[in-house]
Amino acid sequence: MSKAIFKKVATKILLIFIFVFIYKIGLSFQLQSPNGVSESDTASVPKEIEDAQNIGINKDASNATLMPYGSMKEALAANCHASSFSRSLNGISNPVI
């Protein structure tokens, strides 16, 4: 077999494999639902997760556990709201005790 014939046959076989591969990929994408998830994939997902209005399940209230104090006296009192560094986020200023 000459090199020219071998090259033509190899090229045709390669093109056939490429077309078959692209065809198979195209079929697999068509078998999926439009959003890419099948019904069996979403069967175990709770409805609460899909609800956009439901934002409070399994969430802890926010808190700050570390509070700086301006002096040793404030730190020993351990009242984080009386610290000179404490600021209220709702607009009410905290009096320094």
Q: Is the pLDDT of residue 76 over 60?
A: yes
Domain interval for residue 8? 1-37
Residue 57 lies in a domain: no
pTM above 0.75, yes or no: no
| Cα distance from N-terminal residue to C-terminal residue, the chain | 99
> What stretch of H or E contains 13?
helix 3-31
Q: Give me the mean pLDDT over the 71-75 stretch.
A: 88
**Residue 52 domain flag:** no
* Structural domain total, the chain: 2
Half-sphere exposure of 91 (CA within 13 A, CB side): 0
pLDDT tens per residue, range 8-49: 888 989 888 888 887 777 655 555 555 555 555 556 777 877
The pLDDT of residue 33: 55
- Tell whether 44 is covered by a domain: no
